Amino acid sequence: MPTNHLDCWTGPVIGATVGVMPCSSDLRHVPFRTSARAAKRFTGSVGCAIACLVTAHAAMADTATLYSVKDATMIQDSSGEWALGAAYNFYAGRVGENAGGTFRRGLLQFDCSAIPPGSVVTIVQLKLNMSNTQAGTHTVGIHKSTMEWGEGTSFAFGGGGAPATEHDATWNYRFYPDVPWPTPGGSFVATASATKSIGGVGSYTFGSTFQMVSDVQGWVDQPGTNMGWTVKGNETTLQSVKRFDAREAGATQPQLIVTFTPPPSNPADVNNDGAVNASDLTPLLAAWGTPNAAADIDNDGIVDAQDLAQVLAAWTG
């Protein structure tokens, strides 16, 4: 009896996690500069200011469910180029001895354009449905892909694949038959952004992890860098391969659930509550002398009197 029901999707825990938002925002801006003299004048308000900022952001948090726009399997095979661009499934892990003991690696990509530019991503979860397995519980990792790859029209029901079609990703090519990977098996960051222990058939949710949030934030900020993730399983143990449902499977396709805080429509609305008033002064003063993105209204790298002047000028009460 599979125990995977314990891993089923339970949804984002918004209330427990919004507190990290101001930190995430700060981390995106370097270099860090301070004005000790200015900061000293406002130290009494820091605690309250952080609380206000968190509360305001919590009210504005939004969640988008994105579906895979491209998915494929890299099939290790020295004799030919095989692919599964249009198949119902993708695979990760090592097949059995009878199938050659070769590797399978999945490729996944999501379109993040539904998340407005300037948003701060706070929670990212990847939900995959694992629909067939041979034996055992194995760790599967998602690794940020570092090169663009394609999805052709090759189709097969099994993990052996079908002859690659134009633009298919294969073990040797990121776009078959013209553009090879620099190294067969794909290009991706060696350290996984998240891992998951995958046992029996069922739904599994990766993350949220700091690195997944970082990956998706990067894709929101610079869509041109979005190459998706490479899904890598256990490549040591025979028969460790896991079959996951691809976008072509319909209802059980890969889903990326992203919680984010959209940017304020008015830059002077520091706490992003829809009005420019006294409640914006506290977070602005608490961020005085720092490059805090929310409070640096004129975007010159430091929160100072010019930003305060903009809040006062845009006062709505």
Q: Residue 7 is encoded by which pair of tokens? A: 């891993």
Q: How far apart are CA 61 and CA 259, in angstroms?
A: 7
Virtual CA dihedral for 281, 283, 284, 285, nearest 10 degrees? Answer: 80
C-beta of residue 277 within 8 angstroms of C-beta of residue 47: no
Specify whether the CB–CB gap between 294 and 272 falls below 8 A. yes
Please report how close the Cβ of residue 158 comes to Ca ion at its closest, in angstroms: 15
User: What minimum distance in Å lies between the beta carbon of 5 and Ca ion?
Assistant: 27
Q: From the CB of 307, what's the least distance to Ca ion, in Å?
A: 4
Q: Which is nearer to Ca ion, 160 or 200 (CB)?
A: 160
Which residues would be at the binding site for Ca ion (CB under 5 A)?
A: 71, 246, 269, 271, 273, 275, 280, 296, 298, 300, 307
Q: Whose Cβ is closer to Ca ion: residue 212's or residue 302's?
A: 302
Minimum distance from residue 260 beta carbon to Ca ion (Å) = 19
Helix (H, G, I), strand (E, B) or coil at 204: strand
Q: Which is nearer to Ca ion, 123 or 130 (CB)?
A: 130
Long-range contacts of the stretch 16-22 (C-beta < 8 A, 24+): 17/122, 17/123, 17/208, 17/259, 18/54, 18/57, 18/58, 18/61, 18/122, 19/54, 20/122, 21/53, 21/54, 21/57, 21/120, 21/122, 21/261, 22/50, 22/53, 22/54, 22/57, 22/292, 22/294
Q: Which is nearer to Ca ion, 148 or 298 (CB)?
A: 298
Q: Least separation, in Å, of the C-beta of 310 and Ca ion?
A: 8
Strand segments (E) across the chain: 62-75, 82-83, 89-94, 103-110, 120-133, 138-144, 162-163, 173-175, 179-180, 194-198, 202-207, 229-232, 242-245, 255-261
Distance separating alpha carbons of residues 203 and 254, to the nearest angstrom: 10
Minimum Å distance from CB 101 to Ca ion? 25
Measured distance CA(171)–CA(167) in Å, rounded: 13
Give min distance, CB of 290 to Ca ion, in A. 10
DSSP state of 78: S
- Given the complex with Ca ion, which of 123 and 281 has the nearer CB atom? 281
Nearer to Ca ion, 108 or 194 (CB): 108
Name residues whose C-beta falls within 8 Å of residue 309's C-beta, 6 or more positions apart in sequence. none
Q: Which is nearer to Ca ion, 50 or 238 (CB)?
A: 50
Q: How far is the CB of 228 from Ca ion (least distance, A)?
A: 12
The SS3 of residue 137 is coil
Task: Using the minimum distance from each CB to Ca ion, give the nearer residue, 166 or 300.
Answer: 300
What's the min distance (Å) between Cβ of 107 and Ca ion?
9
Round to whole Å and give the CA distance between 165 and 108: 18
Q: What is the CA radius of gyration of the chain?
A: 23
Closer CB to Ca ion, residue 12 or residue 186? 186
